[in-house]
Amino acid sequence: MSITTPTAPTIDEAAPQPDPNAPVITFDHVSIGFEGKKVLEDISFTVSRGETLIILGPAGGGKSVLMKLCDGLLQPDSGNITVFGREISHLKEEELYSARAHIGMVFQESALFDSLTVRDNVAYRLIEEHLPDEEVDRRVREALRFVELEDKIDMFPSELSGGMRRRVSIARAIISGPDLLLYDSPTAGLDPITSTTIVELIIKQRDVGHNTALLITHRLQDAFTLVSHRYNEQTKAMEPLPDGELDQNTRFIMLNEGHIVFEGTTLEFILSNDPFIRDYLS
Amino acid sequence: MPFNTIDQFVKKNVLAVQDFAILSLRSATNLFRRPLYVSDILIQADLIGFGSLPIVILTGFFTGGVLALQSASALSQFGATGITGQLVSLSMIKELGPVLTSLMVSGRNASGMASELGSMQVTEQIDAMRALGTDPTKKLVTPRLYATIIMSFFLTIISDGIGIAGGAFVAIFMLGQDGSQYFHTAYQVLRFPDVLQGLVKPLFFGTIIATVGCYFGMTTRGGTQGVGRSTTQAVVVASVLIIAIDFVISRFMIGIFGR
């Protein structure tokens, strides 16, 4: 079951309606730095509707900063960022809240509200929109069923394992049926089995919900699982794509020291002769 | 200190003051913007107000008591122990009630706000809140600001009353003074400017406690160590500002009312 229920009315009605054929995200010569040090420099790329962009790169390369720029949590020093056809890099914070109604974000360390139960964490956006309790409960249970944690609804985040917290975070991100999902290292710090569970959830959401997604990962095996597997709705399990196929809607970007050093398809990535990528892949 | 270091130090502090002013102004004016988190204001009022009641009562009682002891000791040299009530009442209502209550509330709540919001900041909960479409200043800062202002006002009144009662306890049961005379002089000496001064101060002090606590919380960097640093800084800055602003308000009110 996917979570595709449209978000209730937080979208700014005055905002221009997005063009269905336009790229979901466009970065145009974006640069940002902190305390005089450049973190991202002259970054340009686009993400089309329904596409999954995997962002790879060594730690400290600016991947999380890039993710936060997509959600308007940071503003670039220069360049333009367009999300759903709306230029967000110079919007006021109040205007950004409506722009974020289409976006779900999974943070690196889950970022669950530790004083709220799983139910209230997942329902946060719906509660803020003052939806009736019955609808909130129904949608929370639906989202938690999707991540297979319905029985943990009344627990607090501190009572959950790291993997469970990450799954609750995914449930919170998808409950409003966002068109764009941002996964910031969703498998970081998890054991291989739990990581595979998380990757399976991401594939399930991709194949059933048909969202556009950006995903940061340090684990190459997670990235390759994403491009080489699909979710089978009949068997309700992840399975390899037939004949060694690769998912055509998945692309790679590699960041190093604030620059894009690679952008392309899975095959181009694997076959790249760039010494840095060869070194990274090995 | 090299010039560029001084330059950076000044810039950093000027920026911090600017950020503090923006946060304070935004959180104050959020009262007139939707959504208004009324239930959060009530929860904070309970935590800050009712939670601080025991320390405010104890502080008020013993401050009033020690004031009576010291005043009676000094006044006895002039044979004027009969005005002990006046001294206790004026001191409590104009100065010690508002200042000590605010220092207690600051120690308990500015630190609490800084550590709570600081923990949320370093674990990305504030960013998550923004990503989920909620303005953290509306949800977290504004309720704390108004709850602290309102509860500081009432806690000060309670502290004043308990302080005068503590002074009475010492004057009557330890110094053998006449209770009727104590309360009569304590009441007779009070004028409108005295009461006004005592009631205006907690409004400013409450603002300082909440804005300083929330500012240091919201700007926390550097993990758990950063949370500890923010907590300490919040209490120190809030306490110093309370005493400094107390001087400014006292001078201003004395300038206007002459007492």
Is the CB of A93 less than 8 angstroms away from the CB of B135? yes
> Touching check for B134 and chain A: CB below 8 Å?
yes
**CB-based contact B215:B231 (threshold 8 Å):** no
Q: What are the domain boundaries of chain B? A: 38-257
> Touching check for B135 and chain A: CB below 8 Å?
yes
Two structure tokens written together for B185: 């002089």
Share of chain B above pLDDT 70, in %: 99
Q: What is the mean pLDDT of residues B18-27?
A: 96
Predicted TM-score (pTM) of this structure: 0.89
Residues 99-128 of B with CB under 8 A from A: 119-120, 123-125, 127-128
> To the nearest whole angstrom, how far is the Cα of A88 from the nearest Cα of chain B?
14
Q: Tens digit of pLDDT for each residue in A18-52?
A: 566 789 999 999 999 998 889 999 999 999 999 99
> Touching check for B2 and chain A: CB below 8 Å?
no
What pLDDT is recorded for position A74?
A: 94
Q: What's the ipTM?
A: 0.87
Domains of chain A: 25-281 (3.40.50.300)
Picking from B32, B132, B224 by the largest number of A CB atoms within 10 A of its own CB, the best residue to mutate is B132
> To the nearest whole angstrom, how far is the Cα of B27 from the nearest Cα of chain A?
14
Q: Tens digit of pLDDT for each residue in A222-280?
A: 999 999 999 998 888 899 999 888 988 999 999 998 999 999 999 999 998 888 889 88
Amino acid of residue B91: S
Answer yes or no: is pLDDT of B102 > 60. yes
What pLDDT is recorded for position A20?
A: 66
Picking from B124, B126, B134, B221 by the largest number of A CB atoms within 10 A of its own CB, the best residue to mutate is B124
> Touching check for B35 and chain A: CB below 8 Å?
yes
> To the nearest whole angstrom, how far is the Cα of A243 from the nearest Cα of chain B?
40
